[in-house]
């Protein structure tokens, strides 16, 4: 098989399994880069080539563990499914990820970000992302019909893991979206691409919008669009919203993922008294 034939078969295999569009694109891209790196079809490469490629990504490209693991998953699918040539998972284990506490935007910083926007479309995108706690791909691919003003919810189709869910639609978000709709009159996609007719804004373009206004707002923290999602969850938790409700709003499959936000909330926001302060005054 040629490199092109392998990629075509991989695309077929991902689609027939109903994987999310994002996963389909990721697996295709990773397989293509792997083959291009060696300039050979994957049928002529073995597990040692996979290990050497992952090592190259780690040591020379300096990719983060999470990024390396996406290559790992894509290449496992390529060999195990598309080529029907199972690889030993113990030989290419997932890279250990050290989960660090991310930077969270304060409420004032979020407000400054929105106020920095000089374009209604861009402001609508950022407010929707924070107001509903959406992922980058989710806000980019919203359709007009996904906004339900009667039930005050946003329909998220084909989210992470190919799952649909409903997200929160705030009144402030709805007010801005109505202004945006009156001015731009989007038809199918809520946020259209400016470069390609008939499709939605790309995730990269959305990230660029965030970076632009983050700099204008003078936010120096190391953050991305996903920081808005982290901030949404953290601010809800600080407001006393149940961790189980936050899990549902974020679309997490496992409550342990949501519980990570308990480590982010400031101690002062928890309103918790140490048991030491409840001891009798006689303690010396």
Question: Is position 178 annotated as part of the catalytic site?
Answer: no
Per the annotation, the verdict on 160 as an active-site residue is yes
The answer to whether 252 is a known catalytic residue is yes
User: In the annotation, is 33 catalytic?
Assistant: no
Q: Is residue 263 flagged as an active site residue? A: no
Candidate list 76, 229, 230, 235, residue with the active-site label: 229
185: which residues sit within 8 A by CB, 6+ positions away? none
Options 30, 123, 135, 247, the catalytic residue: 135
Q: What share of the chain is helix, strand, coil (3-state, %, to 5)?
A: 60, 5, 35
Side-by-side strand order, sheet with 147-148: 147-148, 153-156, 165-168
Distance of CA 152 to the CA centre of its chain: 23
Between vectors from CA 48 to CA 46 and to CA 52, what angle results, nearest 5°? Answer: 120
- Catalytic pick among 33, 157, 160, 212: 160
186: region left, alpha or beta (phi > 0 left; psi from -120 to 50 alpha)? beta
Return d(Cα 76, Cα 51) in angstroms, integer: 12
Residues involved in catalysis: 135, 160, 226, 229, 252, 261
């Amino acid at each position: 098989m040629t490199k092109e034939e392998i990629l075509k078969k991989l695309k077929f295999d991902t689609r027939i399994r109903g994987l999310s569009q994002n996963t389909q694109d990721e697996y295709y891209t990773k397989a293509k880069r792997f083959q291009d790196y060696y300039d050979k079809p994957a049928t002529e490469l073995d597990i040692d080539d996979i290990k050497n490629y992952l090592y190259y990504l780690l040591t020379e490209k300096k990719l983060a563990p999470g990024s390396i693991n996406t290559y790992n998953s894509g290449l496992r699918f390529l060999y195990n499914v598309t080529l029907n040539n199972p690889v030993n998972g113990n030989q290419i284990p997932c890279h250990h990820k050290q989960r660090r506490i991310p930077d969270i935007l304060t409420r004032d910083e979020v407000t400054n970000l929105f106020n920095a926007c000089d374009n209604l479309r861009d402001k609508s995108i950022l407010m929707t992302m924070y107001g509903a706690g959406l992922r980058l791909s989710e806000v980019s691919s919203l359709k007009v019909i996904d906004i339900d003003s009667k039930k005050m919810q946003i329909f998220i189709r084909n989210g992470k893991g190919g799952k649909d869910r409903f997200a929160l639609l705030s009144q402030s978000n709805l007010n801005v979206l109505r202004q945006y709709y009156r001015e731009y009159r989007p038809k199918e996609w809520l946020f259209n691409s400016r470069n390609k007719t008939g499709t939605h804004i790309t995730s990269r373009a959305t990230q660029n919008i965030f970076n632009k206004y983050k700099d204008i707002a003078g936010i120096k923290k190391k953050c991305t669009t996903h920081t808005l999602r982290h901030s949404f969850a953290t601010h809800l938790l600080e407001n006393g919203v149940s961790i189980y409700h936050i899990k549902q709003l974020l679309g997490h499959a496992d409550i342990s993922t949501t519980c990570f936000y308990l480590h982010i909330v400031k101690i002062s926001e928890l309103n918790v008294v140490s048991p030491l302060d409840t001891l009798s005054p006689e303690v010396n």
